[in-house]
Amino acid sequence: MKIFTIFFILIFLSGNEFLFAQDELNNQFQKAEKLFKEEKYFDAITEFKRVIFFDSENKYDYESYYKIALSYRAGNKLSEAIRYFSLAEQSAQTRDEILNAKFEIVKLNILRRTTSSALNLLDKIESEFPEKQNDVINWRGWAFIFKDDWESAANEFNKIDSLKWIADFCKNIENSKYSVRFAKIISYFLPGAGQFYSGNYLSGFLSLGWTGLWTYLTVNSFVEKRIFDSVMIGNFLWLRFYNGNIQNAEKFAIAENQKISNNALEYLQNNFKGKKP
């Protein structure tokens, strides 16, 4: 009789201890949630990791990993954020949870411009979640935007009627960019022309002036039969400024295109009301 009494007492105590532990774990999770909402992300990460460590039943794993990832993202630690979104995906219990984690990883790859990783994951999502095709198209478009491939972005957004305005916007950005190839080609024929083309007039005048000066001195030395002077001026001065003119034409065209892309990105971040990274 005493043995049975002791046995039931132990079961009762262990049950209470389990309930107490669960209450403590829940309190710990609520504390982590509170820190997260207060945007105390470093402290929140520490508390969520503590929850995961003591959560023997993995009850809070998904939410804890997910919030840790969001906290790392808020601190611009994108690689760490991807790692914890991946852990959240592994501990997910529903399709929606899996999909949310996958899309967060896509967005982080877009932001850090690892476009191939983003596009590969989007292909997998499209095959596994065909009902989310519009979301996949949207994120593909953004991936191309951050890759500075506005034409491909326009092609993606154009597949959805509600996003045709952003498709047109991307086309306009692509059309407004300078042709780097053209800037270089015209600089071969007329030094400074590439800089004029991209709006860098001072550099264009300097390239034209210096190249013209050394061309004149090279020819003049040759006419006056100062062959050594002609060779030295032509090889070391004229050639240097001529090649520099071509390099500058390319550099300025690329720089101007980058300004156009950055301004377009800033506009979209401030004015685009749909889903964005």
116-150 pLDDT, tens digit per residue, is 999 999 999 999 999 999 999 999 999 999 999 99
Q: Report the length, in residues, of the chain.
A: 277
Q: Please check whether residues 170 and 195 belong to one and the same domain.
A: no
In a domain, 30, yes or no: yes
- Over residues 144-174, the pLDDT tens digits come to 999 999 999 999 999 998 889 999 999 999 9
Residue 194 lies in a domain: yes
In a domain, 152, yes or no: yes
* Of 85, 82, 79, the residue nearest 67 (C-alpha): 85
Angle (CA) 152-158-160 rounded to 5° is 130
Same domain for 18 and 88: yes
- Same domain (yes/no): 202, 258: yes
What's the whole-model pTM score? 0.78
The answer to whether 160 touches 180, Cβ cutoff 8 Å, is no
Q: Is residue 3 part of a domain?
A: no
SS3 content of the chain, % helix, strand, coil (to 5): 85, 0, 15
Q: Residue 277: name the closest of 114, 92, 38, 43 by CA.
A: 114
User: Can you give the pLDDT at residue 76?
Assistant: 92
- Domain holding 142, by residue range, is 113-176
- Residues 196-230 pLDDT 10s: 778 776 766 666 555 655 454 455 455 455 554 45
Same domain, 147 and 200: no
* Residue 159 shares a structural domain with residue 134: yes
pLDDT in tens, 60-94: 999 999 999 999 999 999 999 999 999 999 999 99
Would 215 be classed as within a structural domain?
yes
CATH number for 72: 1.25.40.10
Q: How many domains does the chain have?
A: 3
39 inside domain: yes
Confirm whether 274 is domain-assigned. no
Looking at the structure, tell me whether residues 172 and 192 fall in a common domain: no
Residue 26: count other Cβ atoms within 10 Å of its Cβ: 13
Query: Alpha helices, DSSP H only, in 41-149?
Result: 41-54, 61-74, 78-90, 95-111, 115-128, 133-146
Q: Specify if 107 maps to a domain.
A: no
Q: What is the pLDDT of residue 36?
A: 92
State whether 167 and 207 are in the same domain. no
Same domain, 155 and 203: no
The rounded Cα 257 to chain-centroid distance in angstroms is: 18
